[in-house]
Amino acid sequence: MNRQVTLSVIFLCHNNQYINLAIDAVLEQIDINDEIIVVDDHSSSSTLCILEKYKSNLNINIISSDKIANRSYNRNLGARHAQNSILVFMDGDMVMGNESIVALKNAHSSRVEKAFIGQKHGIHFDELQMKLFSSLSNYINMVSTYEGRSILEKNPLFIDSRGKYFEDPATEDYRWTYYYTGLCSVEKDIFFKVGGFDENFSEWGSEDIDLGYRLSKLTKIGFLTNLHGFHIPHTRDLVSNERSNIKNTQYMMSKYKSWEFEIKQSFYGYGDLILFEKIINQMRLLSVSEECPKIEENELIIDIISQKNYNGKIFYKSANGVCKVNSFFGTAIPFCNKKFSTAYISDHIFIYPTIITSRILQESLRVAKRVLIYPTTDSIRIAWDQLYPLTPKPPKQHFKYEANDLLCFSFSPTFNEYIEVGYIKELEKRALPFE
């Protein structure tokens, strides 16, 4: 049954040169009961002059943030000032497409989902890259007019590839991984029920995915093909963004203790989570031996997910005793380079698909000064024939081995070169009573 909804469109603004285009594109679509909220994050005088022109508009509320560069805090600040039932979050460099307000209202009034994303166009480009990608020399002029946006919406170069994943029912549990705040919406009650944006994210990246993850526990997330947002090209520090994104993903691993964030740290692609869920389910059926070496302080043990160890078996010894590592597979171990003197790895890891085994070895070589494989009494192996779509991310730092194939690793029976993976033929073993 359709119901009347009103929108609060919340922009973040920090020195956005074309913030007027973003505001105008929404302003020409909203009704008298809708509102635009602009949260300004310490912009320069030139941007403030642009915003000043809108202060007399009764549908626009301009707020000055009291915190610098905390996107989560600023979005929450805008949400707390919102008067309406639906929150729409946009960045100050996003221009809303035609009829998008109608699309949002229709969706929130008639569909079961309580949160939506739309098509974001051109989000990866600076001005030169946009020109080379699209061959358009007048992109900014096009996004500033109704006619221009109509043309861009139909341009196949600008189709948002996220839409295809929402067509597959099997992806429903993982749609939160594409909940990006450049253009998204959510019912205000649900937003505050899950706690809003986590303000511990003080750097760039992942605060929106974190919100999407929590929203997915209470509602489905939908994709609207007729909701469009056009990104204003600008330069960005991709290396810095990726570093902060890795840091924030590690924070989510610690926060939720959920395997999904370890995988997103190690592999590309939405489909990977579906594949990994199948791997985990099969591994949890296995009954394997529990033997492992006796470890000393500052040493690490890695064993597999199994029937007894549903969340993996990765732990280390510190001055305070044996501690569990927040990692399921061992493909993203949250410690600095060469933290441990030795990493002992069970030969059970060769039950995993080869690419996962390789990533475990690679990550172990990063966090430990030497890596040793210890034997077990099991002889289980699984043929993982249908896992070829897994695409690994590059290593976080260059090491001797940067391989995703076991044939590229050197398995040495001696320990003269600690960087190599040694195989221990005889080793004192005992089962550690670890919960």
Cβ neighbors of 354 (< 8 A, separation 6 or more) are 384, 405, 406
Q: What is the pLDDT of residues 289-309, one digit of tens each?
A: 988 888 889 999 999 999 999
pLDDT in tens, 138-149: 888 998 999 999
3 state SS of 66: coil
Distances (CA, A) of 337 to 174, 263, 408, 420: 31, 19, 21, 16
Task: Identify the structural domains of the chain with CATH numbers, from first to last.
Answer: 7-256 (3.90.550.10), 271-423 (no CATH)
Q: Does position 93 have pLDDT exceeding 60, yes or no?
A: yes
pLDDT at residue 269 in the model: 55
Mean pLDDT of all residues in 23-46: 93
More confident residue, 378 or 202: 378
- Min mean pLDDT across 167-181, 298-312, 405-419 is at 405-419
pTM attached to this predicted model:
0.83
Secondary structure of 221-232 as H, E, C letters? EEEEEEEEEEEC
CB-based contacts of 191, cutoff 8 Å, min separation 6: 79, 87, 215
pLDDT at 78 (0 to 100): 95
* Band (394; pLDDT cuts 50, 70, 90): low
Residues 410, 292 contacting (CB under 8 angstroms)? no
b (16+ CB within 10 A) / e for 283-310 = beebebebbbbebeeebbbbbbbbeebe
| Predicted confidence (pLDDT) per residue in 258-285, tens digit | 888 888 878 765 457 888 888 899 999 9
